[in-house]
Amino acid sequence: MAKSKPRVKLPKSATKGEVITIKTIISHKMETGQRKDKSGKKIPRQIINKFVCKFNGEQIFGCDMEPAVSANPYLQFNAKVQEAGEFEFIWQDDNGDVYQKKQKITVS
């Protein structure tokens, strides 16, 4: 499988106490483990199974994913920002591969 590529969209700046919308997507096949190949053998499960978002090192959002999640999982959630800092987004798949993306935000 090609290397998964995470993408994140959030404002570069916000006012103190503002609630911002964060959008994430990662390109990933999300193989459920239920399909069979041409020879009839089951294709092993290979999904993104965990997502975590941290702000300045503290987890603010997280979820577990199951095989029913579509390919290229998209997540949207809100966060209230009180200070400038850095968001860190972490996806983990069944092989133990970890994909990370970081993005800073300024607060006035």
CB atoms within 10 A of CB 25: 15
Look up the domain containing 87 and give its range.
6-107
CA distance 95 to 48: 9
Residue 93 near residue 48, CB atoms below 8 Å? yes
Query: Which residues fall within 8 angstroms of residue 2, CB to CB, at 6 or more apart?
Result: 27
Residue 29 falls inside a structural domain: yes
Q: What is the pLDDT along the chain (108 residues), one digit of tens a residue?
A: 447 889 999 999 999 999 999 999 999 888 988 999 999 999 999 999 999 999 999 999 999 999 888 899 999 999 999 999 999 999 999 999 999 999 999 999
Structure tokens at 11: 């404002």
Residue 23 near residue 75, CB atoms below 8 Å? yes
Q: Find the CATH number of the domain harbouring 13.
A: 2.60.40.10
CA distance 3 to 39: 26
**Tally of domains in the chain:** 1
Residue 17's SS3 state is: coil
Residue 1 falls inside a structural domain: no
